[in-house]
Structure 1
Amino acid sequence: MATVELTFSALPAHVRTARLIATAVARRAGVAEDLLDEVRLAVGEACSRAVEAHRLHCPDEPVRIELSDDSGRFEVTVTDVAPNEDADLSGEVTEPGGIANGYELASLLPDMSGLGLAVIAGLAEDVEVYPSPKGMRVKMGWPAVSSLPSSA
């Protein structure tokens, strides 16, 4: 399957739509039924974090989601463009344990405790966080074995 891209305005009501779309794409990609709730919750947390950051800093800018199922993996990337003055970062991958370039994840979130990213880390098999002064990208992944024919 090709990558599915979705952009939505920074309104909390759109987070539900993003969760529903991510769950439908994950199911089609072959993610096991018992992991779909984890996909739904992790995408909701990542989108909620991005919406809150946009509402504080750039409410007219859309939040972006990419969903793909390459190489037997279902991956979701949620990207925001909210400025992050505290992030003197080069966009490196988050290390296990919630550290990105020496910064604790809680310090990367505006007015949030970092709990959302901790929840995401507990729900997704792989989580990478790419913070920068121009926004943050959260990439999550789960195993997927497509059970649908490619022409479906």
Structure 2
Amino acid sequence: MDAQSSAVGTVAKTESATAVLLRFTPQPEHVRTARLVAVAHARRVGVEAGLLDEVRLAVGEACSRAVGLHQRHCPGEPVVVVLDAVDESGSGLVADRFVVTVADKVSGAVPSPRDGATAPAAEGETAVEPEDEDDLDDAEMGLAVLTGLVDDLDITSGPDGGAIRMGWPVKDF
């Protein structure tokens, strides 16, 4: 299953009344809309007000990265963002995390924040190589910002694309 299908599958599997799916063309102006929707949804599901700026910055950074990758490698494919409140504790009673997944369709485009190398693509796939040193620097910087900003962060890459999954606690009501 590719990263984009995984992100979309999250909505289908949870059938959550709180899930929001955004699909948008890889244009920078859509990043602002994604940020606004993410913050509004985070507020609605109970993310503390003090974390909303973090949500805004992280979603903007992840979406900007996906837009940049799509513009260079697959401009006809949409960027996919899934927003949801989930029960990660397994209690089955209430959601305890607000989770945002930003999925792209670019194979092997997750550089390692430590060594600056592009992560290897899956077997039989060719990793995306940066067109110049600035592309690599931008990708590294974006992931470094996310790593420093979000405590609950998971970055994956596969033959059909990558996904950045970020989570924040939902306060008890």
TM superposition score category, shorter chain reference: 0.7 to 0.9
Larger strand percent: 1
1:7 to 23, 42, 49: 23
1:138 and 2:164 are equivalent in the alignment: yes
Q: Which consecutive aligned stretches of 4+ in structure 1 deviate over 4 angstroms post-superposition? A: none
Distance 1:77 1:61 in 2: 17
Partner of 1:119: 145
Give the TM-score taking structure 1 as reference length: 0.79
- Give 1:8 deviation, angstroms: 0.4
- Give 1:112 deviation, angstroms: 3.1
Q: How far does the alpha carbon of each residue in 1:68-127 deviate from its partner, in whole angstroms, 9 at most, with x for none?
A: 11121000000000233x77xxxxxxxxx956xxxx465258423211111112222200
Distance 1:77 1:105 in 2: 23
Q: How far does the alpha carbon of each residue in 1:29-59 deviate from its partner, in whole angstroms, 9 at most, with x for none?
A: 1111110000000000000000000000100
Relative to structure 1, is the Cα distance of residues 106 and 50 closer, same or farther in structure 2, using a 3 angstrom cutoff? farther
What percentage of residue pairs aligned between the two structures are identical? 49
Partner of 1:129: 155
- Equivalent residue of 2:68, what SS? helix
Partner of 2:97: 73
Distance 2:63 2:106 in 1: 13
1:42 and 2:42 are equivalent in the alignment: no
- Equivalent residue of 1:69, what SS? strand
Check conservation: 1:28, 1:146, Cα contact below 8 A. Answer: no
Q: What CA RMSD, in Å, does the superposition of the two structures yield over aligned residues? A: 2.1
Relative to structure 1, is the Cα distance of residues 81 and 47 closer, same or farther in structure 2, using a 3 angstrom cutoff? same
Distance 1:132 1:49 in 2: 16
Relative to structure 1, is the Cα distance of residues 13 and 3 closer, same or farther in structure 2, using a 3 angstrom cutoff? same
Distance 1:45 1:16 in 2: 10
Q: Which amino acid aligns with 2:25?
A: S
Distance 1:132 1:115 in 2: 21
Where structure 1 has 5 or more consecutive residues not aligned to the other structure, the ranges are 88-96, 148-152
User: Number of paired residues?
Assistant: 133
Relative to structure 1, is the Cα distance of residues 2 and 105 closer, same or farther in structure 2, using a 3 angstrom cutoff? farther
- Give 1:4 deviation, angstroms: 0.8
- Equivalent residue of 2:77, what SS? coil
